[in-house]
Amino acid sequence: MADIVEKVRQVISEKLQIDAAQVTMEAAIVEDLGADSLEQADILFSLEDEFGIAADDTDEADGLKTVADIVSYLEKKVTAE
Amino acid sequence: MSRRVVITGMGAVTPLGLSVRESWESLLAGKSGAGEIAQFDTSGFAVRIACELSGFAVEDYIDKRDARKMDPCTHYGVAASQMAWKDAGFEDGGYDADRAGVLIGSGVGGIQTFGVQHAILMEKGPRRVSPFFIPMMIADMPSGAASIALGLKGPNFATVSACASGAHAIGVAFHTVRRGDADIMVAGGAEAAICPIAVGGFANMKAISSRNDDPERASRPFDAERDGFVLGEGAGIVVLEELEHAKARGAHIAVEVIGFGATSDAFHITAPAPGGEGAARAMKEALRDAELVPSDIDYINAHGTSTPLNDKYETAAVKSVFGDHAYKLATSSTKSMTGHLLGAAGGIELIFTALTLESSVIPPTINYDTPDPECDLDYVPNQARETKVTAALSNSFGFGGHNAVLAARRFEG
């Protein structure tokens, strides 16, 4: 859990070139952190790759809005694997 | 009276330097930009040499967050555009953004990105292909990204005509300003094709020199021992501006673009038409467009790739257009030093042509040692030459049989 949160914050801050402190669990990737739709997808795909998640179901990843949404999506996937 | 178009800014990143001035000084000194390829492991490659940029740091020009969504060809195009814009003195305004456009050509666009992402597709599957792959790869992106960086809202697109892409971009931009569709056009070419898939492809065409043990002497246009071009990379961008617009704001004006000729060989996908027939018609068209006669031309910045066929047929084309005057004018190939920047070549070479007109110094063709009976013009061998140059042509020809010739003249009011 802690590993996933840390990694998500690190990837988001690196991709968007923002301070990791801004990447709170409640922050919305687009509205609060300023990502565009391509950056949002890039963040998700990079994290999936990082955690070795098989990319067979794209629907589940649609609608992820906040940092917490991404963390819980990744947790679910990592556990399932 | 028709509108006149002048060059008011120039920017370049080339294998000879990361500015116009540095590149020009290296040219006049006869320095080669060639060396062993450093940006990827060339083990197993038939060709292991190229003219690469040295010391280019993208963060000097583009915000890191934006830069990672761009292919190197776009990095180079945007960097050179910013330099040209600054050189023109537009940093603090003095223009209507709706009347200013960007037209940057590229031969192969984001081919490095293509190679990297294709490998990811094969290795990890479609879900891992970057969402930035398409915008990074498409060949119009140097033009699109430069318009965003400079905030220019006039015409914006790209020309694709292989090694003539940069010259077509400048020619079309010149006509755009002349006919009144814009007052300012940022135009030129950008290329970054020194990557495994491109080097492999060019090598298998036998288009590039395999003189791996002597890279600085591999690009030898018009020399009897030439065996192909040397790949180069970078960008060359000019700011074209309507004359009265430039005068009104007190811009430095040294060179006027006066003609553009474009033709097709309609002959072969890669080989030039025998006798340089299509190239000759493009030179004639540029002269007609410029309202010049052949004897007005003092200098030709040749396409001069260092391939056996190009140099032979370009020489024949010059002779067919200029007759006896072909032997009186000077012809040189700056590709002997920069290598062949493909779609960026027309951009940097118009800049070199403009500097020749402005400074009255002609850059040499280096590595010219052994005359070829079929190449018998004055190629300004090995040493730069001081002589007054009033009007000049810059030739660019591309795979597909595309011929683009630009005519320029020293500005004298």
Angle (CA) B24-B345-B358 rounded to 5° is 40
- pLDDT for residue A81 is more than 80: no
Give the end of a domain, one of B201, B226, B248: B248
Q: What ipTM was assigned to the predicted interfaces of this complex?
A: 0.89
Q: Residues B17, B23: contact at Cβ < 8 Å?
A: yes
Residue B127 in domain: yes
Domains of chain A as residue ranges with CATH? 2-80 (1.10.1200.10)
In this structure, are B349 and B393 located in the same domain? yes
B127 contacts on A by Cβ (under 8 Å): 45, 48, 55, 58
Whole-Å CA distances, B388 to A17, B315, B353, B409? 52, 23, 13, 12
Tens digit of pLDDT for each residue in A22-35?
Answer: 999 999 999 999 99
In this structure, are B220 and B339 located in the same domain? no
Interchain contact B120–A (C-beta under 8 A): no
At residue B363, the pLDDT reads: 98
In this structure, are B18 and B46 located in the same domain? yes
- Give the residue on A whose Cα is nearest the Cα of B63: A17
Average pLDDT over residues B60-79: 97
CA A57 – CA A34 distance, rounded (Å): 26
Residue B270 in domain: yes
Q: Considering the candidates B163, B195, B245, B375, report the single residue annotated as catalytic.
A: B163
Amino acid letter, residue B407:
A
Longest dimension (CA), chain A: 32
Q: Residues B76, B191: contact at Cβ < 8 Å?
A: yes
**Between chains, do B127 and A48 touch, taking CB under 8 Å as contact?**
yes
Six token digits for residue B101: 């456009």
Chain A residues at the B interface, defined by Cβ less than 8 Å, are 15-17, 38, 41-42, 45, 48-49, 55, 58
At residue A80, the pLDDT reads: 78
Tens digit of pLDDT for each residue in B261-289?
Answer: 999 999 999 999 999 999 999 999 999 99
**Between chains, do A16 and B65 touch, taking CB under 8 Å as contact?**
yes
In this structure, are B11 and B87 located in the same domain? yes
Tens digit of pLDDT for each residue in A35-78?
Answer: 999 999 999 999 999 998 876 656 677 789 999 999 999 999 88
Q: Which residues have C-beta within 8 Å of that of residue B24, sequence separation ≥ 6?
A: B352, B355, B363
CA B106 – CA B345 distance, rounded (Å): 10
Residue B32 in domain: yes
In this structure, are B34 and B161 located in the same domain? yes
A41 contacts on B by Cβ (under 8 Å): 131
Instruction: Tell me phi and psi for residue B125, to 5 degrees.
Output: 95, 170
- The rounded radius of gyration (Å) of the Cα atoms in chain B is 20
pLDDT band at A1 (very low <50, low <70, confident <90, very high): low
In this structure, are B304 and B216 located in the same domain? no
Six token digits for residue B338: 């920069």
Residue B99 in domain: yes
Least Cα separation, residue A32 to chain B (angstroms): 17
pLDDT band at B360 (very low <50, low <70, confident <90, very high): very high
A58 contacts on B by Cβ (under 8 Å): 127
At residue A58, the pLDDT reads: 61
Q: Is B163 a known active-site residue?
A: yes
Whole-Å CA distances, B310 to A61, B105, B363? 54, 21, 20
At residue A55, the pLDDT reads: 65
In this structure, are B148 and B200 located in the same domain? yes
Residue B195 in domain: yes
In this structure, are B351 and B233 located in the same domain? no
Interchain contact B64–A (C-beta under 8 A): yes
Six token digits for residue B333: 């190939």
The range of the structural domain enclosing residue B190 comes to 5-248
End-to-end, the C-alpha distance of chain A in Å comes to: 15
- Residues facing B331 on adjacent strands: B300
B128 contacts on A by Cβ (under 8 Å): 45, 48-49, 55
Least Cα separation, residue A62 to chain B (angstroms): 14
CA B305 – CA A55 distance, rounded (Å): 47
Interchain contact B131–A (C-beta under 8 A): yes
In this structure, are B70 and B203 located in the same domain? yes
Tens digit of pLDDT for each residue in B235-260?
Answer: 999 999 999 999 999 999 989 999 99
Residue B254 in domain: no
Q: Residues B208, B27: contact at Cβ < 8 Å?
A: no
Tens digit of pLDDT for each residue in B309-347?
Answer: 999 999 999 999 999 999 999 999 999 999 999 999 999
In this structure, are B238 and B300 located in the same domain? no
Q: Which CATH number is B85's domain given?
A: 3.40.47.10
- Give the residue on A whose Cα is nearest the Cα of B128: A45
Q: Which residues have C-beta within 8 Å of that of residue B305, sequence separation ≥ 6?
A: B163, B221, B229, B311, B333, B335, B340
Six token digits for residue B151: 């905030």
- pLDDT for residue A2 is more than 80: no
Amino acid letter, residue B373:
P
In this structure, are B104 and B142 located in the same domain? yes
- Residues facing B157 on adjacent strands: B103
Total structural domains within chain B: 2
**Between chains, do B127 and A45 touch, taking CB under 8 Å as contact?**
yes
- Give the residue on A whose Cα is nearest the Cα of B64: A17
Average pLDDT over residues B173-201: 98
- The residue behind tokens 């060639």 is B34
Q: Report the percentage of chain B scoring pLDDT > 90.
A: 98
The catalytic residue positions of A are: 36
In this structure, are B89 and B61 located in the same domain? yes
Q: Is B303 a known active-site residue?
A: yes
